[in-house]
Amino acid sequence: MPSKPKTNLDTFPNPNPGRDYLIHMQIPEFTCLCPITGQPDFATITLDYVADRRCVELKSLKLYIWSYRNRGAFHEAVTNKVLDDLVRAIAPRFMRVKARFFVRGGIFTTVVAEHRKRAWKPVPLIALPLDEEASSTGD
């Protein structure tokens, strides 16, 4: 039976809840509709989070993202909605959703929304040399 889009997100227990570690995902095939013209908008969504007790399950995230394909949404609204839904599902220590929309009318739009758990303090970052993957993705 083929998969269908869905609006709920499945989760699983964080396998290392005692440690802050970054989970980084790139979703290059996000689509929604312009709420004014009905034309498709395309974006790459980058999701970075530090889990607390729960992590988001990848297939459910894929089906959740797919649910936007036929929905009208302004760039700012959809980015914040994705963040709100993910925070509600997994209550992370930190989460950033970055949506880089492709050009429309000669304008590229990037929207970044963040959540920080109250009283969470990130551990200081240790500077390491860039690895090949990081330098090839442009991040």
Catalytically active residues, by annotation: 34, 41
d(CA 135, CA 119): 33
Q: Which of 81, 95, 8 is nearest to 52 (CA)?
A: 95
Nearest alpha carbon to residue 41 among 100, 96, 112: 100
Alpha-carbon Rg for the chain, nearest whole angstrom, is 16
Phi, psi (rounded to 5 degrees) for 85: -65, -40
In the three-class reduction of DSSP (H, G, I as helix; E, B as strand; rest coil), residue 61 is classed as helix
| 132 backbone dihedrals φ, ψ, rounded to 5° | -60, -40
